[in-house]
Amino acid sequence: MANKFGATSTTDEVLAGVDLKGKRILVTGVSAGLGIETARSLAAHGADVVGAARDLTKAENATAPVREAAAAGGGSFELIELDLASLASVRAAADKLVAAGKPFDVIIANAGVMATPFGHTADGFETQFGTNHLGHFVFINRIARLLRDGGRLVNLSSAGHRFANVDLGDPNFEHTEYVPFVSYGRSKTANIQFAVEFDRRHKARGIRATAVHPGGINTELARHLDDGFIEQWLKQINEDAAKKGQPPFEFKTIPQGSATSVWAAVVATGDEVGAKYCENCHVGEIVPDEQEIGLGNEGVRGYALDPELAKALWKKSEEMVGETFPE
C-alpha cells in the first residue's frame, strides 16, 4: 500500500478518516506516555479500548483524556490490572479476560522499562528481560485465543535492539556483567523475535504480528537514567551528526511516537507488516550488525528477524516460565 506517513506523522494524522467502531483493542502500559496517547487516539476513532496498567490508581488519573476521547468519538475505555513483573499478576489478568470471553481485534504490547538497575522480577528473572519480554510472552499467549481471525499483535520494541541480541545461555546475567543498555537491547530484540514467531504460529487464521520502534521520545521510560545522561548522549550524537553534515537529532512528540503503533495496528495491511519491524510509519530495512548505533539511524538487525532465533527464544521462554504454548 502507498505510505504517505513518516517520522513526524502524529496519531491523529495516521488515523484521519479511520472508523474503528466495533473494534476492541487492548493496550498495555496506559498509565503514562505512549500508552495513554495510543489508547486516546484509538478510542477517539470509536474503538473499545481495554487499557492494562500495574498501578490502577495512577492509571485512573492519567487516562482521563482517554475517557473524554472515547465519549466524544463513540468508543469506550476500561482498565485492568496487570503487573508484567509478576507472573501471578499476568496469569490472573489473562484468566479474567479469557473468562469474560470478549474477543480482541488488536493487542498492542506497549508497556516496558528501560535501563533499570540490576534486579529481578517477582519470579527471579532479570528485570528488563522479565518485564519487557517474559511478562508479555505469557500474557499474550494466554489470551491469544481471544484474538479474532484477521487480528493483529503489535509489540513495542526499540532501535535499542541494536545494542544486543538475546543471550539464551545467560538471560538473567548470572555469568555476564550487567550493563543496563545491553539488557535493554536483549529485551527489545526479544520483543521482535517474539512477534516473528507469533506471526508464524497464527497467520493461518489471518492474525499477523509485528514489532515497532516508536522513535526517540522523552518519556517516563528514561526515569532510571542518571541526571544529565540524556543531555550528554544527545551532545555526542549531534556532534557526530555535524561531522557528517547531518541535521541534529530531535525528540519526537508523544503523538508522533505513538503514530507507528497505531499505523501498524489498524492502518497497514497484515501482509505489509507481518513478521516485520516498523519505524516512522513504514517497514524498516535490515542493516548490517557492524553499522553504528544512533538515535537518528533507521534499520533493524538481521538477528532480530531471524526465524530460527525466534523459535529458539520461544522454546527458552517456555522453559523459563514453566508453561508451554503449543502451535
Instruction: Write out the catalytic residue numbers.
Output: 157, 184, 188
Q: Is 248 exposed, middle or buried (0-12, 13-18, 19+ CB in 10 A)?
A: exposed
- List CB contacts of 223: < 8 A, sequence separation 6 or more: none
Contact 187/132 with Cβ under 8 angstroms?
yes
**CB distance 137 to 109 below 8 Å:** no
* 3-state SS assignment for residue 3: coil
In b/e form, how buried is each residue of 74-90, taking b as 16+ CB within 10 angstroms? ebbbebbebbbbbbebb
CB neighbour burial string for 200-220, b if at least 16 within 10 angstroms, e if fewer: bbbeeeebbbbbbbbbbbebe
What is the DSSP secondary-structure string of 44-90?
HTT-EEEEEES-HHHHHHHTHHHHHHHHHHT-EEEEEE--TT-HHHH
How far is residue 270's CA from residue 230's CA, in Å, rounded to a whole number?
36
Q: Are 233 and 226 in contact (CB under 8 A)?
A: no
SS (H, E, C) 116-157: CCCCECCCCCEHHHHHHHHHHHHHHHHHHHHEEEEEEEEEEC
* Contact in structure between 115 and 173 (CB atoms under 8 Å): no
Query: Per the structure block, which three cell numbers stand in for 231?
Result: 543531555
Taking the CA atoms of residue 215, residue 217, residue 221 and residue 223 in that order, the dihedral angle to the nearest 10 degrees is 140
